[in-house]
Chains A and B, each alone.
Chain A
Amino acid sequence: MRTLRFILQKEFKQIFRNPAILRIILAMPVSQLFILPWAADYETKGINLSVVDQDHSPVSSRLLSKITASGYFKLASYPSSYRAAAAEVEKNQADIILQIPAHFEKDLVRQQQASLFLAANSINGTKAVLGSAYLQSILADYNNQLRQEWTPFPRMNAEARIQVLSANWYNPRMNYRFFMVPGILVVLVTMIGCFLAAMNIVREKEIGTIEQINVTPIRKHHFIIGKLVPFWVIGLVVLSIGMFISWALYGIVPAGSFLTIYLFSGVYLLAILGLGLLVSTVCSTQQQAMLVSFFLLMTFILLGGLFTPIESMPNWARWLTRANPVAYFIDVTRRVILKGSSLRDIMPQLLTMLGFAVLLNGWAVLSYRKTA
């Protein structure tokens, strides 16, 4: 026990004597939480619309003002021909072209129907898909409006009207920051856990101190616990700093209990530290450790549901995410922070994470023994 206490004391001393690490620990949560939630936003606004209006009728100009009033579109240009509009797209000055053919109003009145043409620049997939979807819903709305106005004698409601009203549960205003911030917290804790722990142990190998340690009667588990505990503590401190910032900056207060968040984070950190330990046993230089953990974290984060929902991934990728601790943590933090899930609700995830922790640490300790 005395040995372990002394090893921990030494590890903490070393960490706090490395000003770069301290700076990283403080600067990472602050800058990530300051910048990312504002920039990493799925909402598509300011779509540049190029309108080719060949009708110039009251109907077409009302349509245009309705579109621009939505706030999603910016009328970028108003060319006279489709060819000119296409040139705008090529110059990347227009994202969507809306062509209103000549006699649009006349056809609509006489034949009860008329066509519009819509073309989207799909270089930026999200913008194209979301932009044309927005535009179509505006058009449908306008269509209904016109029908109502033009039905001559509304003896009864001329058409069956089904109105869809949606409510965004747990995030009523669909604030993307509420969605992103818990995810960024996860990324932070993961980086601290995996990177720092792996680098720390490999550093001992690189500068040769592990030789001197190995000739002592030190117990392997003392050494490993001595390495993991400081980063476990630091991970939780970073999480606390992160939660404080998200409250101060974005007003996000967890709907669930802090105890649940810390309990799950504690177990999650064990798992991710085990991963760091495993990386350190296979690498012999800090550079290798850096590249390996970077690759692993990149994969975990992209397959973790932070940016793209797991539900929309192909089947095989969804299977992969089941072996991805980051995905569970993102899922759980969002549930607890936004939805207020209780410990009982997240029990399956907690048990899975415990399994990860045992598996990764066990594997790491076994392979550590073999090499040392």
Chain B
Amino acid sequence: MISVRNISKKYPVGKGELTAVNQLSFDVAPGELFGIIGPDGAGKTSLFRMLATLLLPDGGEALIGGCHVVKDYKQLRKKLGYMPGRFSLYQDLTVEENLRFFATIFHTSIDENYGLIRDIYEQIKPFKDRRAGKLSGGMKQKLALCCALIHRPTVLLLDEPTTGVDAVSRVEFWQMLQGLKSGGITIIVSTPYMDEASLCDRIALMQQGNFLTTGTPDGIKAAFAKPLLAVKADRMHQLVNAVREAPVVEDSYAFGEWAHAVMREEGHDRELESFLSAKGFRQVVVQQTEPTVEDCFLKLMRP
């Protein structure tokens, strides 16, 4: 459905240049929910803008549903639903007026494609006469999704749709995406939240314009390959540095209320515990844990 080959984008910065997207290649199958996970500044938005025909790539090419993003941009725009990271509907028009406006410029009507957006639109329908600017963050996202879907696109590009949205609305939003996916729409979604990664069929971890790895969330976790321990003690501030000094530990970092320790080999839990006790830590807890996508990301990020 989507096939991207060596796509690149560079921006001039002072005398040099900044590579926002560095020769990326990937494929997305029809009906797949593909997630691009990466921190701010990884190049996600540049990649999305190129796929959405808003930005010309400096190199490489991308085909979406058989349409070239540069040459066939006119046909492509009819098949594409794009939701930018920043809310960009008309704040001074009402919910219904926004939806009708986008339906009209796609030469369709709300009634024609109501089936597709019904589940989402029903939630914001009580507010249909409210100006879009006066909606809450979660409702804005729902409206933006409706507007991106109103012309029945086959591909949906969602750039950080859940950034700045409360936890409950985030869960609802992902449920909606699962619903759309089962309706056969191919979705590419980007997010800085690692916990959302497991909700995608396949993910790519992106950092400084490169994909660190691509695969299913489980596949990526399985590739972690090293034993991972979660450590807790009384002086948490000093703990991470102390764990790092242990000879059996490869790397350590804070992870919520725990410190994660990536071990060099299997079965050195006792050694770590006694090492920390010798360093004067009290109430030391060491237990085995499963790697999450965030652990994989941090491991891949460090050379």
Q: What residue in chain A is nearest B159 (Cβ atoms)?
A: A211
Contact of A212 with B92 in the complex, beta carbons under 8 Å: no
Whether A208 and B101, one on each chain, are in contact in the complex, defined by CB atoms closer than 8 angstroms, is no
A13 within 8 A of B: yes
What residues of chain B lie closer than 8 Å to A213, measured between beta carbons?
Answer: 105
- The answer to whether B77 and A6 have CB atoms under 8 Å apart is no
Whether A209 lies near B80 (C-beta < 8 A) is no
Judge whether B107 is part of the interface by a CB distance below 8 angstroms: yes
CB pair A218–B93 under 8 Å, yes or no, is no
Which of A6, A10, A210, A213 has the most chain B CB atoms closer than 10 A to its own CB? A10
Q: Does A217 count as interface, using CB distance less than 8 angstroms?
A: yes
Q: How far is the CA of A208 from the CA of B105 in the complex (A)?
A: 17
Instruction: Take A3-B105, A14-B93 as given contacts and tell me if A211 and B84 are in contact as well, using a CB distance cutoff of 8 Å.
Output: yes
Q: Which residues of B contact A208 (CB under 8 A)?
A: 84, 86-88
Contacting pair B78 A217 (CB below 8 A): yes
Query: A13-B93, A14-B90 are known contacts. Are A214 and B104 too (CB-CB below 8 A)?
Result: no
A211 to B97, Cβ gap below 8 A? no
State the Cβ distance, A18 to closest chain B Cβ, in Å: 7
CB neighbours (8 Å) of B90 from chain A are 10, 14, 209
Question: How far in angstroms is the closest Cβ of chain B from A230?
Answer: 14
Within the complex, what minimum Cβ distance (angstroms) separates A227 from chain B? 14
A7 CB–B CB distance under 8 Å: yes
Instruction: Flag B60-98 by CB within 8 Å of A: 1 or 0 each.
Output: 000000000000001001101010101111111100010
Q: Which residues in A have their C-beta under 8 angstroms from that of B107?
A: 3, 217
Please tell me if the beta carbons of B88 and A216 are within 8 angstroms of each other in the complex. no
B88 / chain A contacts, CB cutoff of 8 Å = 207-212
Q: Are A7 and B82 in contact (CB under 8 A)?
A: no
- Determine whether A2 belongs to the interface, using a CB cutoff of 8 Å to chain B: yes
> Cα distance A2–B53 when bound, in Å?
25
What are the residues of chain A within 8 A of B105 when measuring CB–CB?
3, 6-7, 213, 216-218
Which secondary structure dominates where chain A touches chain B? helix
Q: Which of A206-235 contact B (CB under 8 A)?
A: 207-218
Contact of B77 among A2, A13, A14, A216 (CB under 8 A): A216
- Closest Cβ–Cβ distance, residue B54 to chain A (whole Å): 6
**Do residues B77 and A209 form an inter-chain contact, with CB atoms below 8 A?**
no
Q: Which of A1-54 contact B (CB under 8 A)?
A: 2-3, 6-7, 10, 13-14, 17-18
Chain A, 111-142, CB within 8 A of any chain B CB = none
Per-position 1/0 for A171-210, Cβ under 8 A of B: 0000000000000000000000000000000000001111
What 10 A-B pairs are tightest by C-beta distance, nearest first? A208-B88, A6-B104, A215-B82, A212-B88, A218-B105, A208-B86, A216-B105, A17-B92, A209-B88, A217-B77
Chain B positions within 8 Å of A, measured between CB atoms, are 52-54, 74, 77-78, 80, 82, 84, 86-93, 97, 100-102, 104-107, 131, 147
A-B pairs with beta carbons under 8 Å apart, 28 shown: A3-B107, A6-B100, A6-B101, A6-B105, A10-B93, A10-B97, A13-B93, A13-B97, A14-B92, A17-B92, A17-B131, A207-B88, A208-B84, A208-B87, A208-B88, A209-B88, A209-B90, A210-B88, A211-B88, A212-B82, A212-B147, A214-B54, A215-B53, A215-B54, A215-B80, A216-B105, A216-B106, A217-B105
- Chain A residues packing against B (C-beta within 8 Å): 2-3, 6-7, 10, 13-14, 17-18, 207-218
